[in-house]
Chain A
């Protein structure tokens, strides 16, 4: 049933190259986009901390 192995192998390196490049590109793209999202999440945490600091300094000044 595994036709790739039962029929003569010619041009297999081209087939291998096309599929390898395609999946590598997709996985690299997925990796970088999820890394970008993690950075944004960290940035949101940083902003929240900044806001907390500003809030607390604002409430300290109140009489």
Chain B
């Protein structure tokens, strides 16, 4: 009987448990949860109450960081998709670093970032209207920022559906990479929408060169952003390890069934 690559499976799962091991990940999760607790203290106790909007303004401390984290996630999708797409005639000098070879890890990174980015965007689309109702008097309006954010959400829903329902995995990887690159254009539109059009949505209050919020509020906003980035890092770690395990299992199962068929024929 043909020997199945048992040592390969053992080695792969050992490597994965070493790099994506439970103990390190648990420590990372505890760190993220601790940050969340401190973040809640800063938001509800330390941050001053906004004079016009009152307490409901505190939604801003999760709404904005989640939007920024979603943007980062989609930027990762964009970057990993570019790295995943193969280039047939690569320049000779790049071959040394194997930059142009199609590496499945980029597909895993892109799909993981898309999934988590979608969770964050969903929450942005939920917390936004909850804040809007008492402040604007309406849950939703078809203004540029809101509409482009909804389009962004739909693009990445399509991205994940394309991957889920495609029978050819390799082809799905290439098509979703193309969608991941094109979809990122909408991230730029979402970010700039408040400057390009007259919108109901507030203009940027914090950007690279503009800080239109009080220093206490800004500090809480930055801390909250750091917390969500750590949470994002943990979720990426978790999802990448899950997807790598899925691939290892699928490949081993294929080999196993092939060996069983060969065994039965003898």
* A residues whose Cβ falls under 8 Å from a Cβ of B: 1-4, 7-12, 14-15, 17-19, 21-22, 25-26, 29-30, 33-34, 36-37, 40-41, 43-44, 47-48, 50-51, 54-55, 57-58, 61
Contacts and interface: CB of A to CB of B under 8 A. Distances in A.
Nearest to A25: B123
Contacts of A9: 55
B199 interface: no
A50 B256 contact: yes
Chain A CB within 10 A, most for which of B13, B53, B63: B13
Given A25-B123, A44-B249, A47-B256, A15 B239 contact: no
Interface string B210-245: 000000000000000000000100010011011001
Contact of A15 (B1, B13, B56, B238): B56
Nearest to A3: B49
B119 A3 contact: no
Contacts, number: 116
Contacts of B123: 21-22, 25
B259 interface: yes
28 contacts: A1-B46, A3-B44, A3-B45, A7-B49, A8-B54, A11-B54, A12-B55, A14-B59, A14-B134, A18-B62, A18-B127, A18-B130, A18-B131, A19-B59, A22-B127, A25-B122, A25-B123, A26-B119, A30-B238, A37-B241, A40-B242, A40-B245, A40-B246, A54-B259, A54-B263, A55-B4, A55-B6, A57-B263
Given A10-B55, A48-B9, A58-B1, A40 B249 contact: yes
Interface of B: 1, 3-4, 6, 9-10, 13, 29, 44-49, 53-56, 58-59, 62-63, 66, 119, 122-123, 126-127, 130-131, 133-134, 231, 235, 238-239, 241-242, 245-246, 249, 252-253, 256, 259-260, 263
B238 A1 contact: no
Contacts of B235: 29-30, 33
A14 B131 contact: yes
Contact of B130 (A1, A17, A40, A41): A17
A29 B48 contact: no
Given A4-B45, A10-B54, A33 B242 contact: yes
A20 B241 CA distance: 28
Contacts of A25: 119, 122-123, 126
A55 B263 CA distance: 11
Chain A CB within 10 A, most for which of B56, B66, B263: B56
A9 to B, nearest CB: 7
A54 B119 CA distance: 42
A7 to B, nearest CB: 5
Contacts of B131: 14, 18
Contacts of A10: 54-56, 134
B3 A55 contact: yes
Contacts of B29: 30
A20 to B, nearest CB: 10
Contact of B4 (A3, A33, A41, A54): A54
